[in-house]
């Protein structure tokens, strides 16, 4: 099936990042958000993310301009009718996502593919109340990393997986097709462990977030450490995920105290508006976060030489 028109449900960080990936390749996208404020602030958010994509990830001004030219914003949910493929990118909350799936199915034809971009929730539970589960799949964008994960639920049609695989390739993204469903996909399962370990280390006072990131960057020759990556993803998203995990532990009768500690810490930042790149402040301040300055990584050596 030829997919020309995408509809993104949720005008947050991911609408910008997915919009950049697909829009720069000429795909048309419409972005809808239930909150008009999100649409009002959308361009500012796009520019903030675009500036990091340019300085750190090689996206060009032309690509960003082309993407912008292919993205329309709407406050009218009825516009979903025009879509060949709907991408759900609303808040990481099971009830909200389930409701959104039902809303989308009510409006679109049976052939329209519907995907979730969830990072950490089980797609088969998100789709639990859908009538046509064969057209549903998880299609997880990892921007700025240039790969997508495609993860079907047992009912997903192989044609849908094939279409998403082809679309990923045409958008310049490496498609990683999961063999079976697992929350958090492949790489993100490992990433989650780093993030939580990193948070615990600073909450428990073993070191600073800068030093953890610096040692990580030096150890692995990465351009960013776990805290910089958390800033890029959004600390409100990290908080929502921690809240989901807390609830999961509670529901299973397990000790949830470690999640409570992480939630309290993250809530402290989110309540101050420190959401990461999208609000201009998270662990670092944006634009021009400290970790982009090559001197910052080795500052002690440069200080010793009088160069810092």
Ligand X SMILES: NC(=O)c1ccc[n+]([C@@H]2O[C@H](COP(=O)([O-])OP(=O)(O)OC[C@H]3O[C@@H](n4cnc5c(N)ncnc54)[C@H](O)[C@@H]3O)[C@@H](O)[C@H]2O)c1
Residue ranges in contact with ligand X by CB under 6 A: 9-14, 33-35, 38, 89-92, 96, 100, 117-119, 140-141, 233-234, 236-237
Pick between residue 29 and residue 297 the one whose CB is nearest to ligand X: 29
Q: Strand locations in 167-219, DSSP E? A: 174-177
Contact 92, 237 (CB under 8 A): yes
Contact 104, 85 (CB under 8 A): no
Q: How far is the CB of 230 from ligand X (least distance, A)?
A: 9
Pick between residue 93 and residue 157 the one whose CB is nearest to ligand X: 93
The contacts of residue 264 (CB under 8 Å, 6+ apart) are none
Tokens for 281? 């402040």
Pick between residue 151 and residue 297 the one whose CB is nearest to ligand X: 151
Pick between residue 100 and residue 171 the one whose CB is nearest to ligand X: 100
The contacts of residue 227 (CB under 8 Å, 6+ apart) are 198, 209, 210, 212, 213, 282, 283, 284
First to last CA, the chain: 57
Helix (H) / strand (E) containing 105: helix 94-107
Tokens for 69? 């030219």
Tokens for 235? 């600390």
Pick between residue 20 and residue 233 the one whose CB is nearest to ligand X: 233
Residue nearest to ligand X (CB): 12
Q: How far is the CB of 2 from ligand X (least distance, A)?
A: 25
Pick between residue 278 and residue 297 the one whose CB is nearest to ligand X: 278
- Determine the 3-state secondary structure of 266 from DSSP: helix
Q: How far is the CB of 5 from ligand X (least distance, A)?
A: 18
Q: How far is the CB of 204 from ligand X (least distance, A)?
A: 25
Distance CA 250, CA 256 (A): 6
Q: How far is the CB of 300 from ligand X (least distance, A)?
A: 32
CA-CA-CA-CA torsion for 173, 281, 194, 146, nearest 10 degrees?
Answer: 10
Q: How far is the CB of 90 from ligand X (least distance, A)?
A: 4
Q: How far is the CB of 9 from ligand X (least distance, A)?
A: 5
Pick between residue 94 and residue 302 the one whose CB is nearest to ligand X: 94
DSSP code, position 27: -
Single out the residue of 123, 117, 114 nearest to residue 80, CA to CA. 114
């Amino acid at each position: 099936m030829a997919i020309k028109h995408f509809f993104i449900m949720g005008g947050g960080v991911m609408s910008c990042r997915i919009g950049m990936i697909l829009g720069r390749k000429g795909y048309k996208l419409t972005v809808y958000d239930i909150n008009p404020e999100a649409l009002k602030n959308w361009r500012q958010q796009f520019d903030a993310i675009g500036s990091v994509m340019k300085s750190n990830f090689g996206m060009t001004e032309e690509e960003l301009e082309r993407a912008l030219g292919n993205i329309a914003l709407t406050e009218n949910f009825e516009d979903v009718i025009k879509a060949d493929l709907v991408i759900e990118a609303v808040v990481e909350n099971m009830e909200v996502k389930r409701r959104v799936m039902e809303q989308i199915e009510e409006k679109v034809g049976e052939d329209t593919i519907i995907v979730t971009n969830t990072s950490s929730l089980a797609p088969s539970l998100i789709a639990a109340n859908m009538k046509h589960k064969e057209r549903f799949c998880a299609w997880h964008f990892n921007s700025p990393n240039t790969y997508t994960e495609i993860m079907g639920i047992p009912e997903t049609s192989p044609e849908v997986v094939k279409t998403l695989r082809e679309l990923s390739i045409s958008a310049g993204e490496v498609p990683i097709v999961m063999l079976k469903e697992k929350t958090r996909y492949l790489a993100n399962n490992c990433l989650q462990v780093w993030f939580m370990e990193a948070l615990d280390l600073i909450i428990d006072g073993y070191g600073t977030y800068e030093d953890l990131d610096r040692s990580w960057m030096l150890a692995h020759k990465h351009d960013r450490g776990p805290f910089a990556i958390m800033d890029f993803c959004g600390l409100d998203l990290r908080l929502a995920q921690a809240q989901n995990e807390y609830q999961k532990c509670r529901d299973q009768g397990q000790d949830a105290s470690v999640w409570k500690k992480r939630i309290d810490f993250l809530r402290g930042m989110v309540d101050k508006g420190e959401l990461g790149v999208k609000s201009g402040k998270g662990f670092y301040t944006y634009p021009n976060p400290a970790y982009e300055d090559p001197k910052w990584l080795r500052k002690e050596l440069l200080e010793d030489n009088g160069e810092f």
